[in-house]
Amino acid sequence: MDSFFSHTLAAILTIGIISFLYKDNPLYKFCESLFIGVSAGYWFVQQYYANLLPKLFDNLGITRMLGAENVPEGALQKLFLHGEWSEDLLYLIAGILGVMMLLRLVSRIGWISRWPMAFIVGSISGLYFITYFQSNAMRQMQNTILPLNSFNNLVLIVGTVTGIIYFYFSKEHKGLFGAAARVGVYFLMVTFGASFGYTVMSRMSLLIGRVDFLFGTWLGLVK
Amino acid sequence: MEFFEKLMSIDRRVIFFFVGVALIVPFFLDIGQKIEISPEVQALYDAFMELPPGSKVLMTFDYDPPSAPELQPQAITALRLCFDRNLKVIMIGLWPMGPMQANLALGTIFSEKKYLDKEPVYGVDYVNLGYSPGNELVIQRMGSSIPATFPRDFQGTPVEEIPLMQGIVNFSNIDFVFNLSAGYPGTVEWVQFAVDRFHARMGAANTAVQAPLVYPYVHAGQLTGLSGGMKGAAEFEKLTGFIGKGTKFMLSQSFAHVIVILFIIIGNTAYFVTRGREKRS
């Protein structure tokens, strides 16, 4: 009975969202607003229980300080009660940076939020510089240096070279250079076409999933 | 001519109707469809088959319910394959809903007759370590210490108390990584961190929309195999012999594709015919 009720509710919401295909309507608006509200609420609770509570409050010992006895001693208890250093104390820095980020909401001292932002941008860009260079540039370039002994290799090399020529704007696209750039455009078009085809397949799959739910799980018409 | 002009201004709801019919009708048909195996999916299957019994497979569920029609059948197939080959499965998620998708997949498998008598043992044959926030930084940290990144499993049990987790420190103790990905963080991040930095051996299953971005990693040898979208799911099911929803859904997928192609042809024909008429006049 419970599952029938939840399935019926889910089916009504699914139909409500799909009804937008006909035209905008109050049921669609209701389902859309409900989805946004539930998502935001779920996200907040999830982040609290997966992030703030175990990583910050538990590790530092704040939850224990507030009376939770089933949580092991945190870094602050270890430091002040036993005089032990714990690397979990580093979470304090993360917590302070988090608070600084929230100061963005106070217009008078909002500038403080630029410091944690600078920390994030600096560390992430440094990390990404290495990973993207290694995985998406070097390894892919290495994979393009191939012997011209098969049609596939030929297509790969011609596609890569002409594609790069198309994006070279320091020389006018005329003559042989222009022809190569034109070939590059055709390769790009084929790439976009393949990507679009895959996107169509992906979106159809989402709809198939809902149709399976409506006719199979909910109505039981499909086994 | 008037007919083509009408086609040019056809109501989009007519197209939605035909696509809807093309998707729904195959659910009630009992028609088999030939599924060709692509080299990428074959390579993925071979990678699983090459693992000796007892090998540790890290399955990462980086997707949520909207992507389940494409990725859930692949998760179920991969889990079945692991249990049948006696591979040990460690499940995690970089998406909050990922570990719940893992539990749903396990529920589907364990409801089958085959597993009712001999259900794999939690903590010994498989474990769900849950979700950890931090996106790619979680992978980076796993390269140093998996127990430090996931100190407790999904149910709150400390990893030191889980037999399967004994002796697992980092990626060097994992024989194969299988990533199910619907976006960020997903296969791209796993390749960048787990494969290229920590030299993990990895295969992936992706949503179709993401697959074209990931194919270059297969050809560069960064991924051992790749299964893209519902088509990949159907191929994977065919190879393993576990026919599931991936295969079942492919008929609807094919019908819908035929309709889309027909409308593209009709639209272009109408466009060129009406444009020719405009030029002449």
pLDDT one-digit tens code per residue, A156-183: 999 999 999 999 999 999 999 999 999 9
Is residue B182 within 8 Å of B189, Cβ to Cβ?
no
Distances in whole angstroms, Cα of residue B280 to Cα of each of B9, B273, B275, B277:
21, 11, 9, 5
Q: Are residues B157 and B22 in the same domain?
A: no
Is residue B60 within 8 Å of B177, Cβ to Cβ?
yes
Is residue B87 within 8 Å of B55, Cβ to Cβ?
yes
- Under 8 Å CB pairs connecting chains A and B tally to 110
What does the mean pLDDT of chain B come to? 93
Using DSSP's 3-state secondary structure scheme, residue B59 falls into: strand
Is residue A46 exposed (0-12), middle (13-18) or buried (19+ Cβ within 10 Å)? middle
The C-alpha of B198 sits at a distance from chain A's nearest C-alpha, in angstroms, of 12
Quote the tokens at residue A10.
């889910």
User: Which helix (DSSP H) or strand (DSSP E) does residue B269 occupy?
Assistant: helix B245-280
User: How high is the pLDDT of residue A2?
Assistant: 73
| ipTM of predicted complex | 0.88
Q: Are residues B147 and B195 in the same domain?
A: yes
A150 vs B contacts (CB less than 8 Å): none
Task: Give tens-digit pLDDT for B21-49.
Answer: 999 999 998 888 899 999 999 999 999 99
- Cα–Cα distance for residue pair B250/B236, rounded to 1 Å: 13
The C-alpha of A46 sits at a distance from chain B's nearest C-alpha, in angstroms, of 7
User: How high is the pLDDT of residue B1?
Assistant: 61
The C-alpha of A76 sits at a distance from chain B's nearest C-alpha, in angstroms, of 19
- Is A194 close to B208, i.e. CB distance below 8 A? no
B196 vs A contacts (CB less than 8 Å): 131, 134-135, 139
- Is B207 close to A205, i.e. CB distance below 8 A? yes
Task: Give tens-digit pLDDT for B151-201.
Answer: 999 998 999 999 999 999 999 999 999 999 999 999 999 999 999 999 999
Q: Are residues B65 and B165 in the same domain?
A: yes
User: How high is the pLDDT of residue A23?
Assistant: 93
B245 vs A contacts (CB less than 8 Å): 212
Is A190 part of the contact surface with chain B (CB cutoff 8 Å)? no
- Is A132 close to B69, i.e. CB distance below 8 A? no
Q: Are residues B118 and B236 in the same domain?
A: yes
Dihedral sign, Cα of residue A31, residue A32, residue A33, residue A39: positive
CATH of the domain at B52: 3.40.50
Is residue B67 within 8 Å of B99, Cβ to Cβ?
no
Is A142 part of the contact surface with chain B (CB cutoff 8 Å)? yes
Q: Are residues B52 and B151 in the same domain?
A: yes
Q: Is the pLDDT of residue A15 over 70?
A: yes
pLDDT band for position B150 (cuts 50, 70, 90): very high
Please give the share of chain A, as a percent, with pLDDT higher than 90.
Answer: 83
Count of helices and strands (H, E) across chain B: 12, 6
Task: Give tens-digit pLDDT for B90-100.
Answer: 999 999 999 99
Task: Give tens-digit pLDDT for B52-102.
Answer: 999 999 999 999 999 999 999 999 999 999 999 999 999 999 999 999 999
- Is B24 close to A211, i.e. CB distance below 8 A? yes
The structural domain count of chain A equals 1
The C-alpha of B210 sits at a distance from chain A's nearest C-alpha, in angstroms, of 8
Count of helices and strands (H, E) across chain A: 10, 0
A202 within a domain of the structure (yes/no)? yes
What does the mean pLDDT of chain A come to? 92
Mean pLDDT on A8-16: 96
Q: Are residues B10 and B43 in the same domain?
A: no
Task: Give tens-digit pLDDT for B211-247.
Answer: 999 999 999 999 999 999 999 999 999 999 988 899 9
Domain of B16, in residue numbers: 2-27+256-280
The structural domain count of chain B equals 2
Instruction: Read off the DSSP letter of residue B13.
Output: H
User: How high is the pLDDT of residue B147?
Assistant: 95
A12 within a domain of the structure (yes/no)? no
User: How high is the pLDDT of residue B275?
Assistant: 86
- Is A139 close to B222, i.e. CB distance below 8 A? yes
Q: Measure CB to CB from residue B27 to each of A139, A191, A211 and give the nearest one.
A: A211
Q: Are residues B121 and B218 in the same domain?
A: yes
Is A132 part of the contact surface with chain B (CB cutoff 8 Å)? yes
Task: Give tens-digit pLDDT for A104-159.
Answer: 999 999 999 999 999 999 999 998 999 999 999 999 999 888 898 899 999 999 99
User: How high is the pLDDT of residue B53?
Assistant: 96
pLDDT band for position B277 (cuts 50, 70, 90): confident
The C-alpha of B237 sits at a distance from chain A's nearest C-alpha, in angstroms, of 16
User: How high is the pLDDT of residue B112?
Assistant: 86
Q: Are residues B239 and B267 in the same domain?
A: no
B53 within a domain of the structure (yes/no)? yes
Q: Are residues B179 and B262 in the same domain?
A: no
* Long-range own/partner contacts, residues A177-183 (CB < 8 A, 24 or more apart): A183/A158
Q: Which one of B13, B152, B207 makes the best mutation probe of the A interface by having the most chain A beta carbons within 10 Å? A: B207
User: How high is the pLDDT of residue A1?
Assistant: 62
DSSP-derived secondary structure for A92-119: HHHHHHHHHHHGGGSGGGGGGGHHHHHH
Q: Are residues B15 and B51 in the same domain?
A: no
B251 within a domain of the structure (yes/no)? no
B224 within a domain of the structure (yes/no)? yes
The C-alpha of A141 sits at a distance from chain B's nearest C-alpha, in angstroms, of 9
B172 within a domain of the structure (yes/no)? yes
Domain of A186, in residue numbers: 149-223
Is residue B172 exposed (0-12), middle (13-18) or buried (19+ Cβ within 10 Å)? exposed
Q: Are residues B44 and B139 in the same domain?
A: yes
User: How high is the pLDDT of residue B118?
Assistant: 78
